[in-house]
Amino acid sequence: MTRTAATPAATARHGGTPFGVLPTGDTVHRFTLANGDVTMRVLDYGGIVQSLETPDRQGIRKDVVLGFDDLEGYLHRSPYFGALIGRYGNRIATGRFTLDGTTHTLAANNGPHALHGGLTGFDKVRWQVLDATDRSLVLRHVSRDGDEGYPGTLTATVTYTLTADNRWVIDYEATTDRATPVNLTQHTYWNLRGHGAEPVLQHELQLVADAFTPVDATLIPTGVLQPVAGTPFDFRTPQPIGARIDAAHEQLRHGSGYDHNFVLAGPGDAAGVRFAAQVREPATGRTLAMSTTEPGVQFYVGNFLDGRITGKGGAVYARHSGFCLEAQHFPDSPNQPAFPSTILRPGERRTSRTEYAFGVDTQQP
């Protein structure tokens, strides 16, 4: 990864502007990153992507991520809009796992389960800004031993970089002083017509996954890898997100739509980054491609949005008004010996990379 030296302006206050004040009295700053055709605004609180603008096929720029105009929205109403998730993205069943003979009890915040790191996950803390330029931001969070029930002091460093060829690259790094599960991800909700536009059901999705991890009624994986063939979960060729979302399929009932981890299948490049998904919005031509080193991706279509959240510019976020592609290890891995391990041990350095590439498809609808 190349890191551009901080500009003088960036060094003074890291280029951030005040965005709001936390109950602790700490000020949250917002950073603007721009490169190629993409401009994004990022908060040091939660590493939240508060806006991201890209042009459509006519060159009309829109903000394509759901979010809020002020900190208050993120503090009180946000279903993880735009945020970094940790220490463990997705669910851990009944908030318990056993590691090296010790059972750990986590904060339960999703019925009996632990979701997205607990009551105060990495989405709800102010990260240190290690470096900021006009196209990159380096954030660090040190999570203390016992935080939300997790063992070990975990140091997480996340770098956001915008490239000249319109990619948002996310580099994650984590180290610990005691063995602990780690599953860092990014929870941006996308609507490629522009946030606040109609639901994303017409967006076409291709997912390079031959299997997914079916769940019980509380969204905990059963442990099986189920082939997508012949099911509404088959996105190996592009399909409108909404085409089968209401099909009579038990798994869609469990998730109130798609809220499932897909098992990525494609070959990786030399760095282990593999093409995972591509989304195309037919009316505007905007496209989004995702590549990652992670073995899975949670595809979630804002099933639990219900119009009660009013976001940026007064936009009302109705059901399915955004989709998430959360690159990750599989849910509940600490309790699923057959899933790829998420356990990080002292002396190890966990790194992963996820990229979102923006483009336009010039073909008319």
Q: Which of 187, 195, 320, 329 is catalytic?
A: 187
CA 204 – CA 282 distance, rounded (Å): 8
Number of residues lying near ligand BGC (CB under 6 A): 8
Nearest residue to the partner ligand BGC, using Cβ: 79
Element (H, E) at 238: none
Q: For ligand BGC, which is the closer residue by CB, 255 or 285? A: 255
Closest contact distance (angstroms) between CB of 107 and ligand BGC is: 16
Which range, of 11-19, 173-181, 297-305, 313-321, touches ligand BGC by CB under 6 A?
Answer: 297-305
Whether residue 116 lies in the annotated active site: no
Q: For ligand BGC, which is the closer residue by CB, 31 or 122? A: 122
Q: Does 259 bind ligand BGC (CB under 6 A)?
A: yes
CA 90 – CA 82 distance, rounded (Å): 15
Whether residue 250 lies in the annotated active site: no
* Binding test (CB under 6 A) with ligand BGC, winner from 9, 34, 72, 304: 304
Closest contact distance (angstroms) between CB of 65 and ligand BGC is: 14
Q: Does 79 bind ligand BGC (CB under 6 A)?
A: yes
Q: Is the peptide bond before 144 cis (omega within 30 degrees of 0)?
A: no
Element (H, E) at 75: helix 71-76
Q: Does 149 bind ligand BGC (CB under 6 A)?
A: no
Q: Does 298 bind ligand BGC (CB under 6 A)?
A: yes
User: Could you tell me the two tokens for 41?
Assistant: 């605004």
Residues that bind ligand BGC (CB under 6 A): 79-80, 219, 259, 298, 300, 304, 326
Catalytic (active-site) positions: 187, 326
